Amino acid sequence: MRHQSLAGTALLFLSLLQTGCGSSGGTSSATVTTPAQQTPSQPQTPQLSIKVPTAANSWVEGNSKETESIIQTNGIRNWRRSSDTIVTYLRLGKTGELELALNAKVLSGTSALEVSLGGVSKKVELSNTALQQVYVGKFSVSKPGYQKIVLRGISASAEVFADINDIFIGGSAVGSDSYFIKDEFYWGRRGPSVHLNYPSPTNAAVEYFYSELTVPAGQDVIGSYYMANGFGQGYFGIQVNSASERRVLFSVWSPYETDDPSKIPPEDRVQLLRKGPEVQTGEFGNEGSGGQSYLVYPWRADNTYKFLLKAKPGDNNSTDYSAWFYAPEQASWRLIASFRRPKTQTWLTHHHAFLENFIPEAGQFSREAQYGNGWIRTAAGEWLPLQQASFSYDDTAKRQSRWDYQGGVKNGRFYLKNGGFFDDFTTYGSKFSREATAAPVLDLTQLP
């Protein structure tokens, strides 16, 4: 429901090419021979049957740039540096024994890898040049929830450590309550989108929607969109596009349903009425289509920003939507844009907020947003607080591909959290309430 740029493309990165070398670590160590190295007198290692694709469930730890280079659509590739640690996540519903094997190969010679879980490390040597299941060993799972499998490169004869397509799992800790991303790799790697849905406290026509949004320190992760004012026909919030760029984003969907804006008939196109200084406008696609506007603005974590949205149905079977943004650094309201949506006669409906990540390589990081002091104003001029909210999530969570989703009340504000593979998830449909605060003091006639 949000777009990273007008073209909707993700950031592209280049990896540094260096020969991998390093040293191992961990609390225990065991050298494992591959099946190709075994003699007839050695016992056969077990063949595990449950396959965890590395393409969907692995990241270069803490590094989105290297993740895009190394984690490819067919698995781990181009892994050259010992400083690039690979992490793979899966969720287990019970404790017990977890057995691991790598579906891997080397390009030539021999590679040594370290595989760790729960503070225990095992060393495995690879010399097979065709993909095969290479047994690593058994690990103890002491608590259910997300498990973090860590791969480190120790040494390699070739330029890369290994190609690893999958991690195979088995053992008493694995069962029907074991979860990982099996399909929809792109959406699964992005992680679950989470939502707060505000029931309207009135049946009267709603003209304005006001809210305040705070991103806590350290939670302003690249690839995050913190949507403050959602409504039935669009959304309004802030996002982190890169290390050097942040935006205020306001979009309105066309009534014509398509992911390709070029296919929208002229009579169904969202029309720009006006925009604020320095605001960029255009069209968006890929997740519905319509009119988009954004202001490049260096908003900061821990600062509270204000959002005001207006809807006004016209008498020509259209509705005008306007969005204003208040930055404490400038102590003034700024117009983002006003759009006219054709074939629409409505006041503001479906008041909501959401939080999402739009860069798959950043799905390994947690992000949080706090939503405070939400209000609506009726067309008759009455301000009413939004004190209730219910929690929901998207199809990624419904498919049980990811379980790192959360919402609730914190410090008198509603909050949302996702990504990073934490264990304490919130049940779909959970309801929250907060204390009412002071109504916004606004001179609506003086808005730019």
* Residue numbers of the chain with a pLDDT score lower than 50: 1-43
Residue the block writes with tokens 């993700």:
10
CB of 187 closer than 8 Å to CB of 359: no
Where exactly does CATH 2.60.120.260 map onto the chain?
31-180
> How is residue 275 written in tokens?
């925009």
CA distances from 274 to 319, 322, 333, 341 (A): 14, 9, 15, 13
Give the CATH fold of the 31-180 domain. Jelly Rolls (2.60.120)
Residue the block writes with tokens 């006001």:
210
CA distances from 183 to 245, 267, 419 (A): 32, 38, 18
Question: pTM value?
Answer: 0.88
Per-residue pLDDT at 286: 61
> How is residue 144 written in tokens?
């259910």
| DSSP 8-state class, residue 178 | -
What pLDDT, in 10s, does the model give residues 99-153?
Answer: 999 999 999 999 999 999 999 999 999 999 999 999 999 999 999 999 999 999 9
Per-residue pLDDT at 20: 37
The gap from C-alpha 151 to its chain's centroid, in whole angstroms, comes to 23
Give the CATH fold of the 190-446 domain. Jelly Rolls (2.60.120)
Per-residue pLDDT at 319: 98
Per-residue pLDDT at 285: 60
Residue the block writes with tokens 């049957």:
49
